[in-house]
Structure 1
């Protein structure tokens, strides 16, 4: 049996990656999408945990999959991508997928463009229908300063460890991501030791790539990567803009 661990992002929930989870479950794999400690949507809960709690939860979930499955894949979104890379550097995962991985965070140029667009939408009274604005607003409201500092500690701790990753790796990144700059994906791509690695930039996608026209293409890329056999002695290094 194939097992797949999916790790959600900072201050998010498993629901934010439900479309990816549903897609992978359709393959009849054993898919785990644990809720990281403190990520209940309540500000006080997120303030009560540290990044070590997030790593511990991810480790427990991964070890359970290893106990039950012949192959194990790990998929991480945003901060979950950083945690996924950490796990792949310490456990023999078969394949690794990183979606908008937050080895660096905040893209000031794109954030300025987003805010400018939201201002114009606010003038026109359209913000109530803007999914991105609603998600950003909710994150800002529900994230205590202490949790943000724990997120920063996590990234600072794990970023120097990326070189330990040698599993086949797929990285996908939106070029208009206002939270994670494209240099984050580039850094990981250049730093990991994997001989089989692919990086795809989606020029019109933001942080949540599946909320854009790139959704279908992204899921197809993930399918192609996860369903292609490895171990044939060949390696591939690919960087593309779609």
Structure 2
């Protein structure tokens, strides 16, 4: 029986956001892993005139293609990709869901301020060029039209009323140091889900790019075990 894994990246991101986990899965299993690039995303951003529907449709087409090649499909969604994963799971037969830093609530102001403070401290010491987080946010801020941010919020609103319709086993991974999605987001999803089999894994050191956390090998192993466990 062939298992396929569809991995969906986040808003203003690209496949690189989930690539470390994809590599881990491919190393440990014979599963088929696919990571589509959503319209306007990837190495260079071109988000103008890209709609929430276009992102969902691209993910849906990738799912249909994967379903032709695999008997069972698991979806892993990162940040906004977690919302799109839930949207697809409402419409198609999906074996399991894995939600990484799923962006169902607004930004965690406290942690973002802490990350800005660290970047500012680096600037004072002349080390700003070495702070990758600062450059990631800087690039995104300069290349994200306000209209695209509103489309992202439309994705949030489209999925929100239907959490209780999801019944697949779900594993949620949330970083305790996430500057974009607050810790309460994971609890919010967990409490609303209709799934009987559901769990939350907290990454002590995880920031928003959870697949690059210091403890990622620990949660990679935990989540892969969840994915591999037979479900009838």
TM-score of the pair, normalised by structure 2: 0.94
Counterpart for residue 117 of structure 1: 118
Q: Distance in 2 between matches of 1:125 and 1:164?
A: 51
Query: 1:40: how far off?
Result: 4.0
Q: Distance in 1 between matches of 2:42 and 2:215?
A: 29
Counterpart for residue 53 of structure 1: 54
Query: 1:51: how far off?
Result: 0.2
Counterpart for residue 38 of structure 2: 36
Pick which of 176-185 and 206-215 moved more. Answer: 206-215
TM-score of the pair, normalised by structure 1: 0.91
Q: Distance in 2 between matches of 1:28 and 1:135?
A: 33
| 1:40 and 1:46 in contact (8 A); partners too | no
Counterpart for residue 154 of structure 1: 155
| 2:79 and 2:100 in contact (8 A); partners too | yes
Deviations 1:191-214 (A, max 9, x none): 111101010112321101232221
Pick which of 4-13 and 88-97 moved more. Answer: 88-97
2:91 aligned counterpart, secondary structure:
coil
1:46 aligned counterpart, secondary structure:
coil
Counterpart for residue 99 of structure 2: 98
Q: Distance in 2 between matches of 1:133 and 1:112?
A: 12
| 1:175 and 1:206 in contact (8 A); partners too | yes
| 2:81 and 2:102 in contact (8 A); partners too | yes
Counterpart for residue 145 of structure 2: 144
Q: Distance in 1 between matches of 2:112 and 2:20?
A: 25
Deviations 1:30-73 (A, max 9, x none): 11100101114545x31121000011111111112222211100
2:24 is the alignment partner of 1:23: yes
The alignment yields a C-alpha RMSD, in angstroms, of: 1.3
Q: How many equivalent pairs are there?
A: 230
Matches within 5 A, 1:49-88: 49-88=50-89
| 1:90 and 1:164 in contact (8 A); partners too | no
Counterpart for residue 190 of structure 2: 189
Counterpart for residue 238 of structure 1: none
